[in-house]
Structure 1
Amino acid sequence: MAKIDSELRELLISVTFLLFSFWIILKLTSGAVWDWNGWSVIEPQSYPPCEANRFLQFTCSTAWIGMIETIKIAILATFFGMILSLPMGLLSSRNLFPQYITYPSRALVSACRSLPSLIWAIIFVILVGLGPTAGIMAMTIYTVGYLGKMQYEAIEGMNSAPLEAANAMGLTKAEVSLWVVIPETANHLIAQMIFMFEYNVRSGTVIGIVGAGGIGYYINLYLKFLQYEKVGAYLFIIFMVVMLIDLVSIYLRSFFTDESENNKPTWKGVLFPKNYVKTTHLIEN
């Protein structure tokens, strides 16, 4: 009975917070979210003609196209960032390599993380031009810095017994990394990658404002035309999509972590993510 009361209390807190968030959005957009003219962003574009089934014509809308492009940017940035950050994380681990290797590697990881993805997006828009390519490159660089730090902290925190056994067998650094370190920390690495994808989706909604692709491009466009009702509709869509991705992310990460609060995904965990606050605090310090 106490468990049911606790779950009802958590549900009430979550619903209250959601309603409060909707109220804030309404205030910020002067009620534009509920202006039907703003919701024309989910209607198919007049050009090019939409060839989808009439029940799927929303897939030709600017909201759908922009949000899908943002998710694609986040997927590619997370994928490339994971590939590049894993070697950097290994080289930055003091329990694997000497200081003359770990210090330069950590400096490079910190340099990638020193600028937010929005600033990297501005830099790459200048270098390669407008479009999602600049967004992918910007978020990849930041992902390398963000994931690299989390990875070498996870590697340094692993049990030392497997490393000592591998060194006693005379394995090389590459063999130790490939056959001992990565399998031992695989759950942490996968959970970090899922978390980073979730972060990149949120970040990807912003970088489009500077021309790096995604739904932010349309937000910037309608802001210039003072069509705030459409901006409000985009913000509402982003809010709901990010909340859904957060919930799915918590569920997926629960398979790779042992922490009890992640075992059962809830809206409270999305709205008040304890692990996210803790991880962000550690990274910022």
Structure 2
Amino acid sequence: MELKLDTISKHYKDKKAVNQVSTVLKSGVCGLLGANGSGKTTLMRMICGILTPTSGTITPDGQSIYQLGEDYRELLGYLPQDFGYYPDFTAKEFLYYMCAVKGLSLAKTKQKTAELLALVNLEEVANKKIKTFSGGMKQRLGIAQSNINDPSILILDEPTTGLDPKERVRFRNLISDISKDKIVILSTHITSDVEYIADMLVMMKQGEILLTDTPDNAAQSIVGKVWEVEVAAQELRAFEDQYMVANFHHEGERVRLRLIAESQPTENAQPLTPTLEDLYLYHFQEGGTADVSTD
């Protein structure tokens, strides 16, 4: 499976939510990384067919999604940021309901529900009401419903936001496991989600693609811009005013800083190996909308 986006744009009057986005996605996990308002959700909703592009084409395996029509929906699985569910349904009842919506026979529904509950490790709570589930359990149920039709393209919008570290790790492992034979588009602003499981990174800012590369290679694009500096505690505020400080650690009367700078900030500054979080901070240090949550 190959999904080609060719100069996709979505404009609202004077606002360019997505502008001239082009890339080719193949099997594996594509991490769609960007701050809030960068155009990630708009792009995914166009890929899903929920929004119509102002211009450009979306072609899975060489056919336009509009030529494919309803057949294209059979290729898709979608987990929105806040997926809808009935809180008084049990996990099994909810999957039965979703299978019915998709037109599966009763025999196929029973088989598919059992398979999916096993896939997302919810077998033991299959008969418990969803309103009793943790956030991570609800997200795993969301993954289950998005895979009812065995999609070739699975789109996940901020699926790990709000999950504790243990649930995020479990969820990431699940995504990695199911990505072997499908295109998984993982939209997030949590850098560790991309760093650990993405085969490909697409970084967006203000509706446009900043870069497309593997996570490791992408981080290397800012070699020479990440530094460690030790300063007196009273100098900390001045450095925070002048540079993007990724983190700092007090050591008695001194403070050790990790910061982003275009050139060596002080004579004693030592270069560091950039991480994906550093890359994110480098591109999204203005405006205060960046969220660089990690484990």
TM-score normalised per structure 1: 0.24
More strand by share: 2
Instruction: Indicate the structure with greater helix content.
Output: 1
Say which structure, 1 or 2, has more relative contact order (CA 8 Å, 6+ apart).
Answer: 1
What's the TM-score once normalised by structure 2's chain length?
0.24
